[in-house]
Amino acid sequence: MQNPADFITHYGNVYFDDDVDTSLFSVPQFRGCDEALQAGHNVSGIYTIFPAGFNDGLQVYCDMETDGGGWIVIQRRLDGSVDFYRNWTDYQVGFGSLSGEFWLGNDNLRSLTETEGKWQLRIDLEDWESNTAWAEYDDFKIHGGNYVLQFNSYSSNSTAPDSLKNHNGMMFSTKDRDNDKLRKMSCARYCKGAWWYKGCHQSNLNGKFGQGNAGAILSVSGVETSSYTGEYTFYAAENRAVREFAFASQTVQSRVICGRECSMDERCKSFNFYDCNKMCELNLATRREHPKDFNATLGSVYFDEDEDTPLYSLTDSSFDRFRSCKMLFDAGYRSSGIYTIYPERFDGCSLRVYCDMETDGGGWIVFQRRQDGSVYFYRKWAKYQSGFGDLSGEFWLGNDNLVTLTSDDSQGTWELRVDLGDWENNTAWAKYSNFKISPGEYNLTYDRYINGTAGDSLLDRRGDLLDRFSTKDHDNDAYEKMSCAKFFKGACGLQLV
């Protein structure tokens, strides 16, 4: 009677005390939490059940209150006390404590859901401001050696959007077992979690704690979802930020706390809050004072005191259509700066790029910029492969990104524009049609030189097209006795015949 929350059900165990009203629990071999509930056990807690195939029983946490009760909880995250960035074996057998945070185990999930009858999956979410939402799915099942996720339909009565639809039919992935659809990266490593990743995720409930919601519970009967947002009373611009004017930054738990920090500092005119890492930036300026620095930034929320601060909802139906800078430009975004786009061949993953919205009609993805020598460009193959530098200054976007971008022909062919400037502010440019970078050695191809004031410098003096990419440690030029990348202290494509 002193600690009722710790008075839990254990098969084969008998508890005695001096209290006359101590309840007598007679626990038969219930196959699930729903059978225990039907037998009158309506207290949520740890039970031992005996599903088909579990001759020795299975200890589970039964939720006897939510949505009619009788739910087997298969995952719970409350406070970040348990590390969920684990390997395949840990997820296979399960980990954590049933009285706190835990994962029930993929082997257990498969054995449970492969039994007779159909199972429902319920996801309950809660954020730091105690906003809650839930989603339910019918005919839930885990099957096969790689624990494939399968369900039939999403309940339209759910209060959380459907963030599992892109994961349906996917195999489970961990940091040491990559089963996602991306060839050149591991979603589990990139997202610091373990899940039914595709490329990479709309939901990531086993990701790093604090990158999304404060709590998440997965349950079956018979912290983070990217689609779920709460309601806020600030003048806010979703997925926007004023850049370059932050005088202070710190990690805080919520947008509300970030706003409180701003209100306590007389220098603060606005603030940015980043949902992904809980970073709070206090700004010396507002978007009205510096509209060109008011940039699209996925996962960020900008706040100020102007009543006409627009609400940009770039995560709703409109944002997924912005696969390029051109599409953003056509949608009305006219300020050059850093944007997050979702190219077709990135399979749901995003790419941060610098969009030039002013040159030659606007809508250009800038993949290289050199302006002051602040970034070292005499680098190795791996660096050019992944990209380097700062999008707000000098950078190379990365050869792998160029391959994936230019392989997408859903919006037509790609044009290449080269803009040049010297120390006396003389400028010149050249433009090429049907530009493409191929995988492997990153072969450069294009159809023709369109026009320009710089002439065609992508053909050598014999009229041969520049071909494979070369760096100081990966020589693809046509010279047998020298490396052009080393000789010219750079990296480029060159073929001489």
Residue 320: the pLDDT is 42
Residue 456: the pLDDT is 84
pLDDT at 282 over 50: yes
Query: Checking phi first, is residue 8 left (phi over 0); if not, alpha (psi -120 to 50) or beta?
Result: beta
pLDDT tens figures, 131-172: 888 889 999 999 999 999 999 998 988 888 888 888 999 999
CA atoms within 13 A on the CB side of 401: 22
- Is the distance from CB of 150 to CB of 143 less than 8 angstroms? yes
pLDDT tens figures, 357-396: 999 999 999 999 998 889 888 888 899 998 999 888 999 9
Mean per-residue pLDDT, 220-228: 44
Report the alpha-carbon distance of residue 125 to residue 102 in Å, rounded: 15
Q: Hey, which of 109-118, 339-348, 430-439 has the most confident mean pLDDT?
A: 430-439
Of the two residues 17 and 336, the one the predictor is more confident about is: 336
Percent of the chain with pLDDT over 90: 23
CA atoms within 13 A on the CB side of 448: 2
Tally of CB atoms within 10 A around 316: 13
Of the two residues 182 and 388, the one the predictor is more confident about is: 388
Mean per-residue pLDDT, 56-81: 89
In a 3-state reduction of DSSP, which class is residue 132?
A: strand
